[in-house]
Amino acid sequence: MNQETFDPDAKLGTYLLGGTALFLFGVLATILNVALPVEDYQKISNFSVFFFTGGGALLMIIGAPVLAESGSETLRKLWPHLWKILTGAVFASFGALLFDRTEGADYSFLTLLLVAYIILLGLLLAQKELKERLTKTIEMIEVIVVAVALAIFIKAIGVQAFKIPSGSMLPTLQIGDQLLVSKFLYGIPLPYTDARLPSIRDPERGDIVVFAYPGMDNPDKPEEIMYVGKNMIKDDLKGEDFIKRVIGLPGDVVEINGPEIAINGQLLDDKWGRFDPSMGGPLASRRHMGPFKVPEGYYFVMGDNRDHSNDSRFWGFVREGRIKGKAFIIYFSTAGLNRIGTML
Protein backbone atom coordinates (compact mmCIF):
# COMPACT_ATOMS: atom_id res chain seq x y z
CA MET A 1 0.00 0.00 0.00
CA ASN A 2 1.16 3.56 -0.55
CA GLN A 3 0.19 6.89 0.93
CA GLU A 4 -1.76 8.08 -2.13
CA THR A 5 -4.15 5.19 -1.60
CA PHE A 6 -5.78 6.89 1.37
CA ASP A 7 -8.13 9.80 1.79
CA PRO A 8 -6.07 12.63 3.32
CA ASP A 9 -9.00 13.41 5.62
CA ALA A 10 -9.06 9.87 7.02
CA LYS A 11 -8.18 9.57 10.68
CA LEU A 12 -5.12 7.43 10.08
CA GLY A 13 -3.54 8.40 13.38
CA THR A 14 -6.65 7.27 15.23
CA TYR A 15 -6.60 3.93 13.43
CA LEU A 16 -2.92 3.47 14.23
CA LEU A 17 -3.20 4.37 17.92
CA GLY A 18 -6.46 2.50 18.50
CA GLY A 19 -5.23 -0.52 16.60
CA THR A 20 -1.97 -0.52 18.54
CA ALA A 21 -3.87 -0.55 21.85
CA LEU A 22 -6.10 -3.44 20.75
CA PHE A 23 -3.20 -5.38 19.26
CA LEU A 24 -0.99 -5.05 22.34
CA PHE A 25 -3.88 -6.07 24.59
CA GLY A 26 -4.47 -9.14 22.41
CA VAL A 27 -0.81 -10.14 22.43
CA LEU A 28 -0.55 -9.70 26.21
CA ALA A 29 -3.74 -11.68 26.79
CA THR A 30 -2.45 -14.44 24.49
CA ILE A 31 0.71 -14.74 26.56
CA LEU A 32 -1.22 -14.74 29.84
CA ASN A 33 -3.78 -17.29 28.58
CA VAL A 34 -1.01 -19.69 27.58
CA ALA A 35 1.50 -19.05 30.36
CA LEU A 36 -0.51 -18.59 33.56
CA PRO A 37 -1.42 -21.81 35.43
CA VAL A 38 -4.95 -20.71 36.30
CA GLU A 39 -8.38 -22.29 35.89
CA ASP A 40 -9.86 -22.03 32.39
CA TYR A 41 -12.87 -20.04 33.62
CA GLN A 42 -10.52 -17.32 34.88
CA LYS A 43 -9.03 -16.70 31.44
CA ILE A 44 -10.25 -14.29 28.79
CA SER A 45 -12.00 -16.26 26.05
CA ASN A 46 -9.77 -17.29 23.17
CA PHE A 47 -12.25 -15.68 20.78
CA SER A 48 -11.84 -12.29 22.49
CA VAL A 49 -8.06 -12.60 22.72
CA PHE A 50 -7.59 -13.45 19.06
CA PHE A 51 -10.18 -10.91 17.91
CA PHE A 52 -8.29 -8.08 19.59
CA THR A 53 -4.99 -9.32 18.17
CA GLY A 54 -6.29 -9.62 14.60
CA GLY A 55 -8.63 -6.63 14.69
CA GLY A 56 -5.96 -4.43 16.18
CA ALA A 57 -3.49 -5.54 13.52
CA LEU A 58 -5.91 -4.62 10.72
CA LEU A 59 -6.50 -1.16 12.17
CA MET A 60 -2.74 -0.64 12.52
CA ILE A 61 -2.24 -1.63 8.88
CA ILE A 62 -4.91 0.87 7.83
CA GLY A 63 -3.25 3.62 9.84
CA ALA A 64 0.34 2.70 8.94
CA PRO A 65 0.75 5.33 6.15
CA VAL A 66 0.78 8.05 8.80
CA LEU A 67 4.25 6.76 9.69
CA ALA A 68 5.50 7.95 6.31
CA GLU A 69 5.52 11.46 7.72
CA SER A 70 7.18 10.46 10.97
CA GLY A 71 10.30 12.28 12.12
CA SER A 72 11.93 8.88 12.66
CA GLU A 73 13.70 7.43 9.63
CA THR A 74 13.25 3.95 11.09
CA LEU A 75 9.47 4.35 11.22
CA ARG A 76 9.39 5.79 7.70
CA LYS A 77 11.19 2.71 6.43
CA LEU A 78 9.10 0.36 8.56
CA TRP A 79 5.57 1.33 7.56
CA PRO A 80 5.39 -0.36 4.10
CA HIS A 81 6.43 -3.65 5.74
CA LEU A 82 4.39 -3.35 8.93
CA TRP A 83 1.63 -5.61 7.64
CA LYS A 84 4.11 -8.50 7.33
CA ILE A 85 5.27 -8.12 10.93
CA LEU A 86 1.73 -7.84 12.26
CA THR A 87 0.47 -10.79 10.23
CA GLY A 88 3.33 -12.89 11.58
CA ALA A 89 2.28 -11.94 15.12
CA VAL A 90 -1.36 -12.78 14.34
CA PHE A 91 -0.40 -16.25 13.10
CA ALA A 92 1.85 -16.74 16.15
CA SER A 93 -1.05 -15.83 18.44
CA PHE A 94 -3.33 -18.23 16.59
CA GLY A 95 -0.80 -21.04 16.93
CA ALA A 96 -0.20 -20.38 20.62
CA LEU A 97 -3.92 -20.42 21.43
CA LEU A 98 -4.55 -23.45 19.22
CA PHE A 99 -1.78 -25.61 20.62
CA ASP A 100 -2.37 -24.57 24.19
CA ARG A 101 -5.33 -26.99 24.05
CA THR A 102 -7.27 -25.11 26.69
CA GLU A 103 -10.17 -27.27 27.82
CA GLY A 104 -13.38 -26.24 26.08
CA ALA A 105 -11.61 -23.65 23.91
CA ASP A 106 -13.43 -22.19 20.90
CA TYR A 107 -11.08 -23.42 18.14
CA SER A 108 -13.68 -23.32 15.38
CA PHE A 109 -14.31 -19.62 16.05
CA LEU A 110 -10.57 -18.97 16.15
CA THR A 111 -10.23 -20.51 12.72
CA LEU A 112 -13.11 -18.39 11.37
CA LEU A 113 -11.45 -15.29 12.79
CA LEU A 114 -8.15 -16.19 11.14
CA VAL A 115 -9.91 -16.70 7.79
CA ALA A 116 -11.69 -13.35 8.21
CA TYR A 117 -8.36 -11.66 8.96
CA ILE A 118 -6.76 -13.12 5.82
CA ILE A 119 -9.71 -12.04 3.66
CA LEU A 120 -9.76 -8.49 5.02
CA LEU A 121 -5.98 -8.19 4.75
CA GLY A 122 -6.22 -9.40 1.18
CA LEU A 123 -8.81 -6.72 0.41
CA LEU A 124 -6.55 -4.04 1.84
CA LEU A 125 -3.56 -5.21 -0.18
CA ALA A 126 -5.35 -6.08 -3.44
CA GLN A 127 -7.31 -2.84 -3.63
CA LYS A 128 -4.46 -0.45 -3.01
CA GLU A 129 -4.98 1.18 -6.41
CA LEU A 130 -8.75 1.43 -6.02
CA LYS A 131 -9.19 4.31 -3.62
CA GLU A 132 -12.97 4.35 -3.45
CA ARG A 133 -13.35 0.63 -2.87
CA LEU A 134 -10.53 0.67 -0.33
CA THR A 135 -12.29 3.38 1.62
CA LYS A 136 -15.37 1.15 1.79
CA THR A 137 -13.21 -1.75 2.97
CA ILE A 138 -11.72 0.43 5.70
CA GLU A 139 -15.19 1.52 6.81
CA MET A 140 -16.33 -2.11 6.88
CA ILE A 141 -13.34 -3.16 9.01
CA GLU A 142 -13.92 -0.25 11.38
CA VAL A 143 -17.59 -1.13 11.85
CA ILE A 144 -16.81 -4.82 12.42
CA VAL A 145 -14.03 -4.19 14.92
CA VAL A 146 -15.95 -1.58 16.90
CA ALA A 147 -19.21 -3.58 16.95
CA VAL A 148 -17.58 -6.84 18.06
CA ALA A 149 -15.36 -5.04 20.59
CA LEU A 150 -18.45 -3.44 22.15
CA ALA A 151 -20.24 -6.80 22.23
CA ILE A 152 -17.26 -8.42 23.96
CA PHE A 153 -17.07 -5.54 26.44
CA ILE A 154 -20.78 -5.72 27.28
CA LYS A 155 -20.60 -9.50 27.69
CA ALA A 156 -17.52 -9.24 29.91
CA ILE A 157 -18.81 -6.67 32.37
CA GLY A 158 -22.55 -6.33 31.92
CA VAL A 159 -25.02 -8.85 30.54
CA GLN A 160 -24.56 -12.28 28.97
CA ALA A 161 -27.10 -14.46 27.18
CA PHE A 162 -27.60 -18.08 28.27
CA LYS A 163 -29.75 -20.83 26.78
CA ILE A 164 -31.32 -23.58 28.90
CA PRO A 165 -30.13 -26.92 27.44
CA SER A 166 -31.69 -29.39 29.91
CA GLY A 167 -34.62 -29.93 32.24
CA SER A 168 -32.71 -29.67 35.52
CA MET A 169 -34.46 -26.41 36.43
CA LEU A 170 -38.02 -27.47 35.58
CA PRO A 171 -40.63 -26.20 36.12
CA THR A 172 -39.05 -22.77 36.67
CA LEU A 173 -37.00 -22.88 33.48
CA GLN A 174 -38.03 -24.77 30.36
CA ILE A 175 -35.75 -26.30 27.75
CA GLY A 176 -35.37 -23.60 25.11
CA ASP A 177 -35.64 -20.65 27.47
CA GLN A 178 -33.03 -17.99 26.70
CA LEU A 179 -31.97 -15.85 29.64
CA LEU A 180 -30.05 -12.70 30.33
CA VAL A 181 -27.51 -12.96 33.15
CA SER A 182 -26.34 -9.92 35.11
CA LYS A 183 -22.60 -9.99 35.81
CA PHE A 184 -22.16 -6.67 37.60
CA LEU A 185 -24.65 -7.52 40.39
CA TYR A 186 -22.15 -9.82 42.12
CA GLY A 187 -19.12 -7.79 41.04
CA ILE A 188 -17.37 -7.90 37.67
CA PRO A 189 -14.79 -10.74 37.60
CA LEU A 190 -11.17 -9.75 37.03
CA PRO A 191 -9.36 -11.99 34.51
CA TYR A 192 -6.79 -14.54 35.71
CA THR A 193 -8.00 -14.35 39.32
CA ASP A 194 -11.05 -15.03 41.47
CA ALA A 195 -11.08 -11.37 42.48
CA ARG A 196 -13.98 -9.11 41.58
CA LEU A 197 -14.75 -5.44 41.47
CA PRO A 198 -17.06 -4.23 44.27
CA SER A 199 -20.49 -5.85 44.04
CA ILE A 200 -23.98 -4.49 44.48
CA ARG A 201 -24.74 -7.52 46.65
CA ASP A 202 -23.63 -11.10 47.27
CA PRO A 203 -25.56 -14.12 45.97
CA GLU A 204 -28.65 -14.80 48.08
CA ARG A 205 -30.62 -17.94 48.79
CA GLY A 206 -33.07 -18.49 45.96
CA ASP A 207 -30.97 -16.72 43.31
CA ILE A 208 -30.67 -18.56 39.99
CA VAL A 209 -27.00 -18.36 39.10
CA VAL A 210 -24.81 -19.26 36.12
CA PHE A 211 -21.37 -20.62 37.01
CA ALA A 212 -18.44 -22.53 35.57
CA TYR A 213 -19.09 -26.19 36.40
CA PRO A 214 -16.21 -27.47 38.59
CA GLY A 215 -16.47 -31.10 37.45
CA MET A 216 -16.89 -34.40 39.26
CA ASP A 217 -13.28 -34.16 40.43
CA ASN A 218 -14.16 -30.95 42.27
CA PRO A 219 -12.10 -30.95 45.48
CA ASP A 220 -14.73 -28.81 47.24
CA LYS A 221 -16.98 -31.60 48.47
CA PRO A 222 -18.62 -32.43 51.78
CA GLU A 223 -17.78 -35.87 53.15
CA GLU A 224 -21.18 -37.21 52.10
CA ILE A 225 -20.25 -37.13 48.41
CA MET A 226 -16.60 -38.10 48.57
CA TYR A 227 -17.56 -41.50 47.11
CA VAL A 228 -16.54 -40.01 43.77
CA GLY A 229 -12.75 -40.10 44.03
CA LYS A 230 -10.77 -37.01 43.18
CA ASN A 231 -9.33 -36.96 39.67
CA MET A 232 -10.84 -40.38 38.90
CA ILE A 233 -13.50 -39.35 36.43
CA LYS A 234 -13.06 -37.64 33.08
CA ASP A 235 -15.83 -35.08 32.96
CA ASP A 236 -16.43 -33.67 29.47
CA LEU A 237 -18.71 -30.96 30.87
CA LYS A 238 -16.07 -29.52 33.18
CA GLY A 239 -15.78 -25.77 32.68
CA GLU A 240 -19.13 -25.52 30.88
CA ASP A 241 -21.72 -23.01 32.05
CA PHE A 242 -24.23 -24.53 34.48
CA ILE A 243 -27.35 -22.91 35.91
CA LYS A 244 -28.78 -23.82 39.33
CA ARG A 245 -30.45 -22.21 42.34
CA VAL A 246 -28.52 -21.12 45.42
CA ILE A 247 -29.67 -23.12 48.45
CA GLY A 248 -26.80 -22.95 50.93
CA LEU A 249 -24.86 -19.76 51.66
CA PRO A 250 -21.34 -19.52 53.11
CA GLY A 251 -21.40 -20.70 56.73
CA ASP A 252 -24.81 -22.43 56.45
CA VAL A 253 -25.34 -25.91 57.89
CA VAL A 254 -27.36 -27.88 55.32
CA GLU A 255 -29.26 -31.11 55.85
CA ILE A 256 -31.38 -32.91 53.24
CA ASN A 257 -34.05 -35.46 54.17
CA GLY A 258 -36.13 -36.44 51.17
CA PRO A 259 -38.05 -33.38 49.97
CA GLU A 260 -37.15 -31.45 53.13
CA ILE A 261 -34.14 -29.16 53.33
CA ALA A 262 -33.00 -27.76 56.66
CA ILE A 263 -30.78 -24.68 56.84
CA ASN A 264 -29.13 -24.10 60.22
CA GLY A 265 -31.71 -26.39 61.82
CA GLN A 266 -34.73 -24.64 60.30
CA LEU A 267 -36.82 -26.14 57.51
CA LEU A 268 -36.44 -24.22 54.27
CA ASP A 269 -39.61 -22.86 52.70
CA ASP A 270 -38.78 -24.67 49.48
CA LYS A 271 -41.25 -23.24 46.99
CA TRP A 272 -39.00 -24.14 44.04
CA GLY A 273 -38.33 -27.89 44.25
CA ARG A 274 -40.09 -30.54 42.17
CA PHE A 275 -39.70 -34.24 43.02
CA ASP A 276 -40.26 -37.48 41.15
CA PRO A 277 -41.30 -40.23 43.60
CA SER A 278 -40.68 -42.93 40.97
CA MET A 279 -36.98 -42.14 40.80
CA GLY A 280 -34.41 -44.64 42.03
CA GLY A 281 -30.70 -45.14 41.54
CA PRO A 282 -27.99 -42.62 42.39
CA LEU A 283 -30.28 -39.59 42.46
CA ALA A 284 -32.40 -41.23 45.13
CA SER A 285 -29.27 -41.75 47.21
CA ARG A 286 -28.81 -37.99 47.32
CA ARG A 287 -32.15 -37.48 49.07
CA HIS A 288 -30.56 -37.86 52.51
CA MET A 289 -27.42 -35.86 53.20
CA GLY A 290 -25.78 -34.01 56.03
CA PRO A 291 -25.74 -32.09 58.12
CA PHE A 292 -22.67 -30.42 56.62
CA LYS A 293 -21.35 -26.87 56.68
CA VAL A 294 -20.88 -24.74 53.57
CA PRO A 295 -17.36 -23.27 53.74
CA GLU A 296 -16.78 -19.52 53.63
CA GLY A 297 -16.52 -18.32 50.03
CA TYR A 298 -18.61 -21.25 48.69
CA TYR A 299 -22.23 -21.98 47.81
CA PHE A 300 -24.41 -25.10 47.75
CA VAL A 301 -26.63 -25.15 44.64
CA MET A 302 -29.43 -27.40 43.44
CA GLY A 303 -31.63 -27.74 40.40
CA ASP A 304 -35.35 -27.16 40.92
CA ASN A 305 -36.07 -30.50 39.21
CA ARG A 306 -34.50 -32.22 42.20
CA ASP A 307 -34.54 -35.82 40.98
CA HIS A 308 -33.19 -34.89 37.54
CA SER A 309 -30.39 -32.49 38.34
CA ASN A 310 -26.61 -32.83 38.40
CA ASP A 311 -25.81 -30.39 41.20
CA SER A 312 -23.92 -29.84 44.46
CA ARG A 313 -25.24 -33.10 45.90
CA PHE A 314 -22.94 -34.92 43.47
CA TRP A 315 -19.92 -32.71 42.85
CA GLY A 316 -19.79 -30.37 45.81
CA PHE A 317 -19.71 -26.66 46.52
CA VAL A 318 -19.35 -23.83 44.01
CA ARG A 319 -16.47 -21.46 44.69
CA GLU A 320 -17.63 -17.83 44.62
CA GLY A 321 -15.15 -16.99 41.87
CA ARG A 322 -16.83 -19.50 39.56
CA ILE A 323 -20.18 -17.72 39.69
CA LYS A 324 -20.62 -15.61 36.56
CA GLY A 325 -23.87 -13.87 37.38
CA LYS A 326 -27.56 -13.96 38.24
CA ALA A 327 -30.23 -14.87 35.71
CA PHE A 328 -32.86 -12.14 35.80
CA ILE A 329 -35.15 -12.34 32.73
CA ILE A 330 -36.25 -14.68 29.93
CA TYR A 331 -35.78 -12.65 26.76
CA PHE A 332 -36.84 -15.39 24.31
CA SER A 333 -38.13 -18.95 24.47
CA THR A 334 -38.93 -21.72 22.04
CA ALA A 335 -40.99 -23.29 24.84
CA GLY A 336 -43.66 -20.61 24.39
CA LEU A 337 -43.74 -16.96 23.45
CA ASN A 338 -45.75 -16.22 26.59
CA ARG A 339 -42.57 -16.88 28.60
CA ILE A 340 -40.80 -13.89 27.05
CA GLY A 341 -40.32 -11.15 29.63
CA THR A 342 -40.64 -13.46 32.65
CA MET A 343 -38.54 -12.10 35.52
CA LEU A 344 -36.54 -14.59 37.58
Which are the catalytic amino acids?
168, 244
Side-chain-side CA neighbours of residue 260 (13 Å): 9
d(CA 267, CA 206): 14
Distances in whole angstroms, Cα of residue 35 to Cα of each of 28, 192, 341 = 10, 11, 43
Burial of 12 (0-12, 13-18, 19+ CB in 10 A): buried
CA nearest neighbour of 158 among 2, 341, 26, 325: 325
Contact 321, 42 (CB under 8 A): yes
Measured between alpha carbons, how far is residue 171 from residues 167, 260, 271, 336 in Å?
8, 18, 11, 13
What does the chain come to in residues? Answer: 344
φ, ψ of residue 313 in degrees (nearest 5): -65, -20
